[in-house]
Amino acid sequence: MAKQDEPGRELYSIHTLVKDFARDEAEKEGLERKELLIRAARHYENLVETTGSLWDLLKARGYYYQAEEWERADDIVNAAYDYLIRWGQIELAMNLLDQSTKTISGTRKAVALGNLATVYQSLGDLGTASKLYNEVKEVFEEAGDKRNVSVALHQLDMLAQATGEIGEARRLYGESMKITQELGDKSDVAKLLGQLGNVAYLQGEIGEARRLYGESLKIAQELGGKSDVAKSLHQLGMLAQATGEIEEARRLYGESMKIKQELGDKSDVAKSLHMLGMLAQATGEIEEARRLYGESLKIDQELGNKSGVASSLHQLGWLAQATGEIGEARRLYGESLKIKQELGDKGGVASSLHRLGILAQDTGEIVEARRLYDESLEIAQELGDKSGVASSLHQLGMLAQDMGEIGEARRLYGESLKIKQELGDRRGIAETFGQLGRVDEEEEDYFSALDKYLLALSILKELNDPRSGLAESDISRLREKMGEEVFEKALEDIGRTHGA
């Protein structure tokens, strides 16, 4: 289907010559208005065979709709809406799907509702999407259509995952997988394996997540489904990034984005750009990260993807904070938070509150920082978001340390470290070891402090993390406090302890 020129307000108007011809023919043959409209619709359908134009096809749909040929009009919407989404014509796609849902019934209506739900989901309106998918599931259950019940369950799975309801997501995936395997649909099995991998990852089951993503990729490659291959590569990239395999993550994201660009999938290209931005950010490439986030933001704004816009604004806020642009960081975090609250994105709200807490802490607003961290922690605990819980505990530990509450700081860091170790979050582990080392240093337990700084440095160097410089500074400072002879002796003892 060719995009060609995009229509303006005259999308459904009849070309003057066509209109005159149709009217003359109608007068000659004594046609009724409905017959005239159907004839005009068929004219544009025939024209599509020559032009390949989507807009000619939509003109045909317009005439079928006016003629109250609802099912034929809906057939065209089903054929066209995906192209419209890819090309950024989201409002038009939503209006056409909405009109279909109001003029058709039964399983045909369920399909239109499902397509409309998918659009709402892509825009981040998860509440509306969930309501529509539940309607779809009920219709297909009544019709005994197992395959489409499985599809609806799969979509509800993803929504539960996106809103942090991990237990519910796993339950729904189980139901969907059982039906899908009974039906022998390999493509859907691949998609479900990928989503189950996401759930495993969120619950800290890294090995299981890698296995599930790998199985999903293998099936997608066997079936030749480029979109599914791109998705699996992206998921494996996220896993590599989370475990500190930066170059592998960059390779996987790059392969995934190349396929998405070939397919013309703007929304998924934006996601790849965003993740590549996060990689650049993690390795200290601030300007490259800013460029990538900016490209991702621009695409999501064009597509009306509110969730994607919020994510890019959040990361741009992080970069502004890192470069000392405090006012700009607060503005960007605030804009992101507002969108997430409108969308009902609890996990995203927790993340924004956490970053605003760090900003308040950095500017000495201790009481405000504690309030924001507590709010973020509460949401993360409700959602079962272990990573979010660990991050909030770590920051609350830093606040306690700043206030001289050393025992409380040590307790909070310890809880955070335990969760990070369960999740295999190596960067987070290094970060908490560094803070525990500073607590030991404040209490003049220099041997324990040096041990923790060395552990942090070892991890950060393996990950090629620019914060390894901070760990080196901690060690240099400690060397001065301990004196060269004591420091070297401590290094030897620590080396023997760890079998070096």
User: pLDDT tens digits for 87-121?
Assistant: 667 788 889 999 999 999 899 999 999 889 988 87
Q: Does residue 60 sit within a domain?
A: yes
One domain for residues 91 and 139 = no
Same domain, 29 and 75: yes
Asked if residue 5 is part of any domain, the answer here is: yes
What per-residue string of b and e applies to 371-388 under the rule 16 or more CB within 10 Å gives b? ebbebbbebbeebbbbbb
The last residue of a domain, from among 196, 217, 250: 196
Residues 3 and 93 in one domain: yes
Is 269 contained in some domain?
A: no
- Eight-class DSSP state of 2: B
pLDDT of 11: 41
For residue 449, tell me if it sits in a domain: yes
Share of the chain above pLDDT 70, in %: 90
Backbone phi and psi for residue 186, each to the nearest 5 degrees, phi listed first: -65, -40
**Do 216 and 193 touch, CB atoms closer than 8 A?**
yes
Q: What is the pLDDT of residue 13?
A: 43
Note whether residue 173 is domain-resident. Answer: no
Q: Check residue 260 and give its pLDDT.
A: 92
Q: What gap in Å lies between CA 84 and CA 93, rounded to an integer? A: 6
**CA distance linking residue 323 with residue 230, whole number of Å:** 34
What pLDDT, on a 0 to 100 scale, did the predictor assign at position 174? Answer: 82
Angle among Cα 453, 242, 178 to the nearest 5 degrees reads: 145
pLDDT at position 381 is 85
In this predicted structure, what is the pLDDT of residue 203?
62
Q: Say if residue 157 is in the same domain as residue 60.
A: no
CA terminus-to-terminus distance, the chain: 64
Instruction: Give helix 266-282 / helix 306-322 axis angle, nearest 10°.
Output: 20
Single out the residue in 196, 220, 244 at which a domain terminates. 196
With respect to residue 455, please indicate whether it lies within any of the assigned structural domains: yes
Entry field: residues in the chain: 500
Name the 3-class secondary structure at 53. strand
Q: How far is 293 from 331, CA to CA, in rounded Å?
A: 16
Alpha-carbon separation of residue 454 from 318, 339, 395, 437, 472 (angstroms): 27, 41, 21, 9, 8
- 8 with 83, same domain: the answer is yes
Task: Give the ranges where 146-205 is alpha helix by DSSP (H).
Answer: 146-162, 166-183, 186-202
Query: Containing domain of residue 154, as a range?
Result: 125-163+189-196
| Whether 82 and 159 share a structural domain | no
Residues 4 and 34 in one domain: yes
Tell me if 322 is assigned to some domain: no
| Per-residue confidence in pLDDT tens, the chain, 500 aa | 545 544 433 344 445 445 555 555 555 554 578 888 888 888 888 888 888 888 888 898 998 899 899 998 988 888 888 778 766 677 888 899 999 999 998 999 999 998 899 888 766 677 788 899 999 999 999 999 888 888 888 788 878 776 657 778 888 878 888 888 888 878 878 877 887 887 777 665 778 888 989 988 999 899 888 988 998 899 899 888 877 788 899 999 999 999 999 999 898 999 999 999 999 998 889 999 999 999 999 999 988 888 889 999 999 999 999 999 999 999 999 999 999 888 777 878 888 999 999 999 999 999 999 999 999 999 888 766 777 889 999 999 999 999 999 999 999 999 999 988 877 778 889 999 999 999 999 999 999 999 999 999 998 887 666 678 889 999 999 999 999 999 999 988 888 887 65
Predicted local confidence at residue 499, as pLDDT: 64
User: pTM here?
Assistant: 0.60
Domain count, the chain: 3
Are 67 and 157 members of one domain?
no
DSSP reduced 3-state for 183: helix
The verdict on residue 8 lying in a domain is yes
The reply to whether 8 and 38 lie within a common domain is yes
Residue 474 CA to residue 114 CA, distance in Å, equals: 56
